[in-house]
Amino acid sequence: MGKDIAIVSITLIVLVLAIVALLMQITPTNSLKNQVFETHSYTTAICDSTNYCQDYHIKCNGKNILNLNPLTGAAIQFDNDWNDPRNESETNGFCN
């Protein structure tokens, strides 16, 4: 009978520890008020003076840039008179 109680006790302890570990992974560690959320994002070409351009994905929170990442793929050399038709940054700034 003593062995049965020991086995049940150890099983219960392991089960409680597993449940606690699972709950710790599910419970968010950061409060929502400390997180910064994206309000909008878009893609645009960023070009140098010779119109050598790379597409970027820009994530904004209001007027603040959260993230500016180049999209995969090669940069492209365009003609001098080319303008990106979706170029939101020319008229509004990156996150204005």
What's the pLDDT tens digit per position in 40-91?
A: 888 888 888 888 889 889 888 888 888 889 987 778 888 888 877 876 555 4
pTM of this prediction exceeds 0.95: no
Residue 57 counted as domain residue: yes
Q: Is residue 8 part of a domain?
A: no
The pLDDT value given to residue 22: 75
Q: What range does the domain containing 65 cover?
A: 37-80
Q: Could you tell me if residue 5 is inside a domain? A: no
CA 50 to chain centre: 32
The torsion region of residue 33 among left (phi > 0), alpha (psi -120 to 50) and beta comes to alpha
How many distinct structural domains can be found in the chain? 1
Q: Indicate whether 25 belongs to any domain.
A: no
Nearest one of 49, 38, 39, 55 to 89, comparing CA atoms: 55
30 inside domain: no
User: Is position 21 within any domain?
Assistant: no
- At 89 the pLDDT is 54
* pLDDT tens for each residue of 12-35: 888 888 787 777 776 565 555 566
Whether 23 maps to a domain, the answer reads no
Query: Is there a domain that residue 58 lies in?
Result: yes
Q: Give me the sign of the Cα torsion angle 13, 16, 21, 22.
A: positive
